[in-house]
Structure 1
Amino acid sequence: MMRVVELPAVGAPLRLSSRPIPQPGPGEVRIRVEACGVCGSDVFLQKGGFGAGIPLPIIPGHEAAGVVDALGDDVTEVAVGDQVALYYISTPPDDPWAARGRPNISPHVQRMGVDVDGAFAEFVLRPTAALVRPPAPVPPAVLAVLTDAVATPLHGLKRVAHLAAGETLVVLGVGGLGSNAVQLGKAFGARVIAVTRSEAKLRLARELGADETVAADAGDPVAAVKALTGGHGPDVVIQCVGSAAVDEQAIA
């Protein structure tokens, strides 16, 4: 048996429980979980934000890393003992959207910790396509967030916005996503302006390399950003808060 943290019902508190240790099927890998973050979507799940149809009780958790513990049939991509990060979503092997690099919009997508049991557990099963093996050892707590809290702003800044060196990036919100967006912006060579409410997060943004910070509740943050950019505004804005009001600021 293994220890797990599960959601028994929508709106209910999470509870510590026990489950049988899962056995990997063909193409699957069992991972001994070493670290798993708590994402905002885990809270969203607990509050019923994913709607009906969630299999309950469900084990949440998708920002995870661990060590390969057992292999299913025909698995050759990883070996027992390999360190891996876990990817949030998976699709069938022949999924056409996955083949185009867009598994997130496949009608057959399965979300770890939402559609299938996640990593708030001692062990979890994942298909090999949902594993990322680092080229060198990484602290588990760092590796756990790379495929979510780091990859999300990375995708937005690199593949969507095409942020370039010398451009000005505004990061709205300096939480789990925003703190990584600040660091990524600096890594791309951009000028980074971080906008957030908390004084502690303003300090964090500066420690992470933000060139300027704006206190969102000390006046009009849009006007403040325009003043810092000579009235032109930024080249790129990344919204890391998730509220409609901040959406309006992002496009102002």
Structure 2
Amino acid sequence: MTAAEHIPHHQALVREAGRVRLRVRPTHAPAPGELLVAVQVAGLCGTDIQMLRGLRDDPAPVIGHEGICHVVAAGTGAPDSLSPGTPVLVNPTHRSDPSFLLGHNVDGLMQERTHIPATAVHDGLVVPLTQPPDPVLGTLIEPLAAVCYAFALLGTVGPRTLVVYGDGTIGQLAVRAARRWLGEDVRVVLVHHSRDGLEWSARHPVAGTELLLDGEGHEALRLDGPTAVLLATPRTGTLNALESALRLDCRDLTIDMFGGLPPGATSALLPGVDLAAVRAANCAGLPVPAAFTRVRGPQGRSVRLTGHRGVGNDHLLEAAAELAGRPDLYRDLVTHVVEPREAAKIMNSLSAGLGRNVAGSRLIKLAVQFPRTPPSSSLSSESA
């Protein structure tokens, strides 16, 4: 590490007793096989908000799995390709080691310095970034990679129409990226779960995208040919969106349960179908070919179901290249860019369930920028 990179303490946004507090933590050298990375910018995602609100029991005190970093120190035995100074992405999901899920059961990126465990380093989850986008857009790499994965699945059916449920970051990324991965002629429909979301989309239009509000007649859409549905919903909304999609008037329907499911989720419209197992069948880009399950939907129609967890490294690099190549298409999605102290205030407001409006505007993606100067030790006992 250079003198500028070697800091004895670092700032971290830490979950403590139901609140997020800005703390100073000691910065330790990496153990054998580990990496220490400096976080340039980190993003807050919908899953993180669920954790802040106590809807998930993930134990990591420091959340965050989206962002751009660079290596500042490597433990003995770490690959030469990950030498100090290398810009990197961290793939947050380990396909075979459940002990590593970045920002969920190991401390994540909402801090100036993050240790990456040896299991993640050894198995290639730290990815050198050869084509970095604008740093703030780095918060969109991982979610766009997940959209890329979804389109790799849905693209196998050659859809003429894409129906996206959900007006958060994933849904907004999907409608912007659809024609890149599904073809210029695909019809795109975005179904919103709130009128506020619908109004935001109307103010930030994507050419050729139809905007609808859930519950206001979208199930009567005229759909010709293969139709792909992306459930870009929080886990609390996925079942309702799934059942709404199953009622679409469509003879050739494929549904990707992107948004996750509550434990033990079942649907009366799909008796006997283990929805969680269907969703978990694809993980981090494997298997190839991907797994689909045929089910019997309402009125006896055959429906293809799929889902996925995590992303592959190729998805991350493809998303980074897309953001670097077409930044203006995605820039409006990073609606709030703040320093750590302000981030703590926003996160605490979100944890209290006070909606998605921050500083008078709708939050799509929060980007937290970490300074490269050593923090003041006076922060060590300060809360936000």
- Give the drift of 1:34: 0.5
- Give the drift of 1:16: 0.7
Cα distance, 1:217–1:202 mapped onto 2, change above 3 Å? farther
Cα distance in 1 for partners of 2:128, 2:158 equals 29
Residue aligned with 1:182, SS:
helix
- Give the drift of 1:218: 7.4
Cα distance, 1:184–1:171 mapped onto 2, change above 3 Å? same
Any residues of structure 2 matched to 1:101-116 within 5 Å, and which?
A: 103=95, 106=96, 108-116=98-106
Task: Give the structure 2 partner of residue 100 of structure 1.
Answer: none
Code of the residue aligned with 1:151 in structure 2: it is A
Cα distance, 1:163–1:185 mapped onto 2, change above 3 Å? farther
Query: Which structure is higher in RCO with an 8 Å CA cutoff and minimum separation 6?
Result: 2
Task: Give the structure 2 partner of residue 83 of structure 1.
Answer: 87
TM-score by length of 2: 0.54
Residue aligned with 2:81, SS:
coil
Cα distance, 1:163–1:169 mapped onto 2, change above 3 Å? farther
Task: Give the structure 2 partner of residue 48 of structure 1.
Answer: 54
Cα distance in 2 for partners of 1:164, 1:140 equals 35
Residue aligned with 2:200, SS:
helix
CA RMSD of aligned residues (A): 2.2
Could you give the per-residue CA deviations for residues 118-139 of structure 1, whole angstroms, max 9, x where no partner exists? 1111100124322222222322
- Give the drift of 1:115: 0.9
Code of the residue aligned with 2:11 in structure 1: it is R
Task: Give the structure 1 partner of residue 200 of structure 2.
Answer: 200
Single out whichever of 195-204 and 241-250 deviates more from structure 2: 195-204
Residue aligned with 2:29, SS:
coil
Cα distance, 1:67–1:161 mapped onto 2, change above 3 Å? same
Cα distance in 1 for partners of 2:177, 2:99 equals 28
Residue aligned with 2:13, SS:
strand
Cα distance, 1:109–1:152 mapped onto 2, change above 3 Å? farther
Cα distance in 2 for partners of 1:176, 1:114 equals 19
Q: Specify every segment of 5 or more residues in structure 1 that has no aligned partner in the other structure, as ranges.
A: 91-102
Any residues of structure 2 matched to 1:156-195 within 5 Å, and which?
A: 156-158=150-152, 160-163=153-156, 167-188=160-181, 189=183, 190-195=186-191
Could you give the per-residue CA deviations for residues 62-105 of structure 1, whole angstroms, max 9, x where no partner exists? 11211111111112232211111222123xxxxxxxxxxxx0xx
- Give the drift of 1:221: 1.4
CA contact (8 A) 1:86 1:144 kept: no
CA contact (8 A) 2:39 2:113 kept: yes
Code of the residue aligned with 1:187 in structure 2: it is R
Q: Specify every segment of 5 or more residues in structure 2 that has no aligned partner in the other structure, as ranges.
A: 1-8, 248-384
Residue aligned with 1:153, SS:
helix
Task: Give the structure 2 partner of residue 219 of structure 1.
Answer: 216
1:69 aligns with 2:69: no
Could you give the per-residue CA deviations for residues 7-40 of structure 1, whole angstroms, max 9, x where no partner exists? 013xx11111111113212222111101100111
| Identity value in percent | 25
Cα distance in 2 for partners of 1:3, 1:202 equals 38
Aligned length: 223
TM-score by length of 1: 0.79
CA contact (8 A) 2:41 2:69 kept: yes
Could you give the per-residue CA deviations for residues 227-247 of structure 1, whole angstroms, max 9, x where no partner exists? 3x3xx3752010112312222
Cα distance, 1:240–1:86 mapped onto 2, change above 3 Å? same
Code of the residue aligned with 1:108 in structure 2: it is P
Residue aligned with 2:138, SS:
helix
CA contact (8 A) 1:22 1:123 kept: no
Code of the residue aligned with 2:187 in structure 1: it is R
Task: Give the structure 1 partner of residue 112 of structure 2.
Answer: 122
